[in-house]
Chain A
Amino acid sequence: MGDVYFNNFWAMGTRCDVVLPGIKNSTADYLYSKIYDEIVRLENKLSHFMPVSDVSYINENASDQEILIDDELFDLIEKCLEFSEKTDGRFDISILPLLELWQSDQQNEIRKNPEQREIDYALEKSGYRHILLNEHKSSIAFDHPGVKIDLGGIGKGVALEKVDELLSQYDVQNAFISFGESSIMVKGNHPCGESWRVGIQHVYQPGVSIHTFELKDMSLSTSGMRSLQGSNEIEQRFHIIDPCTGHMVRDQKTISVTSSSAVEAEALSTALMTSDIDNARRILQQFPECHAIEIRYGQDKKAGISIFQ
């Protein structure tokens, strides 16, 4: 019997599962509490859902004035803008006005038909080029009223990288950390293998893996159609917006990306949702270490896989 520590908690709108094999329970409990504290700290800072977060403060004020921010947040937003450049704007933290248009306030249900003029209006307030960073002052400002940022597309990646650092500080060799199974970071390997084997499950066939990733010191991010907990029906919640058109991505597909950087994996899996295969390959050329696959479901619920890189 292999010893394994497991614990989990709710954070960042999903559950965070922490699996630490081969570590004494008391030590693992301590590590778990460190991980918990760090993720809660990040959520309180980065979530636009939290009324007192740094991001909420920015969203309320950065259209009127420059807001001084700390290095951690500055570096993160700077990195997000780099990803926007590298993905032709397909990854964009400024699409919150669009997202809010498409999602009703209370239930996260998709509004049936936002009118094109509403989309156009929201598009004016969206676009990473509205975000102005001043490295000298370490400040952020928006050049248009109503601009808002949302780090939700990358927050779990940030959290996973912090957890990675934390575990390294404590010399933890092997670990498996998962946010809702869509954002995963592994350290080292499974106690009985050379890696961690993670399969992307067929959305309509529970237990069937369509593609297996062999992960070692690696992150895996999956974007796309989701199914809901406790529901036998595949009940989809679309939550990805094409930043260029302002429309919701309704493709029956998922994108999975591996990278040694969890933030990179998150940004790319989001960006590739709105890319065709040629665009995807062109974007991925800038990230030669990453692997990316697309799984597309037909009307017959059959899955087809494309390996982008």
Chain B
Amino acid sequence: MKNKSNITRREFIAGFSAFAASLPWISLIGTGESSAQNPSDRVRLGIIGTGSRGRVLMLHLQQIPNCEITAICDNYPPNLYEGKRITSGKAWQTGDYRRLLELDHLDGVIIATPLHLHAQMTVDALQSGKHVFCEKSMALTYEDCKKMVHVHRESGKNLQIGFQRLFDLRYIDAVERVKRGDIGPITMIRAYWHRNNDWRRPLPRPELERKINWRLYREYSGGLMTELGAHQIQVANWLLESHPLTVTGVGSINYWNDGREVFDNVSTIFSYPGDVQCIYDSVTSNRFYGLEEQIMGPKGTLELEHGKIYSENPPPAPGILQLINNIENSVFDTIPIGGASWVPETALEYEGNYLINKRHIPDSTLLEMEAFVNSIRNQSQIEGIVEQAYYASVAVLVANESMQERKIVHWSEDLNI
């Protein structure tokens, strides 16, 4: 397992720019290696919520040297059983997270539970002296989001929320390119996440409907905006270096009218400073367009999920490039044209360029786990990471408010932290 992590580290550094290194959460990657052998640097974690997402995080954690999952918790026995299997039965287990928080030996906890539980669990964990990694989005209400930040700051314990695009090298490269002006100032963002399924999990017994399919009920879930949109609005905030000033949206149930309470389609406009709009939509009845964030400026376009950049001006043909170089260097010579890079007269599709041309980009979820573990070793909060999470999490709640109230909602000063 250790070797795997080392390979990742090497690969990561190879594609690492000075800009990436300047991001506080990225600078932590790999720093745990020197202490990886030292028993006193061992990080012991408890997992609260060993459902599908929790188990993905566990598998990543098991690749990180000198990090141990010593306790797991889930109040749904099949999940707890699966979690136990992953730890080969070694982890202590419970169905009550409060009992897990009583374990003094735990350095931190991972919370991967339904959204409405995030705030209370995070607050309790921080107050019990544990560092917390909580899955996105932060919480179901403004108050809960704010409370999580407040208690985190008061407790002096680390808090990290699972916005893994912050750790994705392609996204980091895109942010750097935007800052450098490669596409000019951002004038528009269009983002979407389209699926074609009912978003339901199979039920062993009908009475488990609300527990298993919690995403579909407003008591537990913010629907598409909190479960999917939060990731992409985090990216918009990051690129535009602000939270939205207003959000307006319309949501409805127009296909999966099966008793669910959350919208099965949402269409929203997030307005940012400088009169820049981010148009966001998500549907569950068509998957043709899939998932994308399109970042547009006068000089180019980024497609972040595909990891591509499209210049409004294509690169010069090699012959033309040679001509330009010759003129710049006062050389008068024949320029060969029409060679192997000749663009045909027939219509050509310009396919853009990859942001990072690497065969293997380290998994961003693995990196966010590694950063969390290393922040525990360092005993210091990663600068800026909670703020990124908070403003994205709150922005999607503003969108939900707009859709539920059918009105434009202005960002209230009270929401700032």
Contacts and interface: CB of A to CB of B under 8 A. Distances in A.
Interface of A: 1-4, 6-10, 13-15, 17, 19, 21, 49, 108, 152, 156, 176, 178, 180-182, 184, 190-193, 197-203, 206-209, 212, 222, 226-232, 234, 237, 239, 254
Contacts of A190: 326-327, 332
A4 B327 contact: yes
A63 B389 CA distance: 64
A21 B348 contact: no
Contacts of B336: 199-201, 206-209
B258 interface: no
Contacts of B332: 190, 192-193, 197
A244 to B, nearest CB: 21
Q: Which of the listed residues B316, B324, B335, B345 has the most CB atoms from chain A within 10 Å of its own CB?
A: B345
B360 to A, nearest CB: 22
Nearest to A240: B345
Contact of A9 (B313, B344, B347): B313
A141 to B, nearest CB: 29
B113 to A, nearest CB: 48
B319 A181 contact: yes
Contacts of B329: 1-2
A77 to B, nearest CB: 20
Contact of A209 (B326, B334, B341, B350): B334
B342 A180 contact: yes
B314 interface: yes
A197 B330 contact: no
A97 B323 CA distance: 39
B103 interface: no
B301 to A, nearest CB: 13
A25 B348 CA distance: 29
B75 to A, nearest CB: 54
A180 B324 contact: no
A191 B329 CA distance: 11
A23 to B, nearest CB: 12
Contacts of B314: 8-10, 15
A201 B335 CA distance: 9
Contacts of B7: none
Contact of B327 (A191, A207, A231): A191
Contact of A198 (B327, B334, B344, B345): B334
B337 A13 contact: no
B334 A180 contact: no
6 contacts: A13-B347, A178-B317, A202-B339, A206-B318, A226-B344, A226-B346
A181 B346 contact: no
B39 interface: no
Given A10-B350, A13-B348, A227-B339, 18 more contacts: A1-B328, A1-B330, A10-B348, A13-B345, A14-B343, A14-B344, A108-B347, A156-B345, A180-B317, A181-B338, A181-B343, A198-B334, A199-B336, A201-B336, A206-B339, A229-B344, A231-B340, A232-B340
B337 A200 contact: yes
Given A7-B313, A8-B313, A230 B320 contact: no
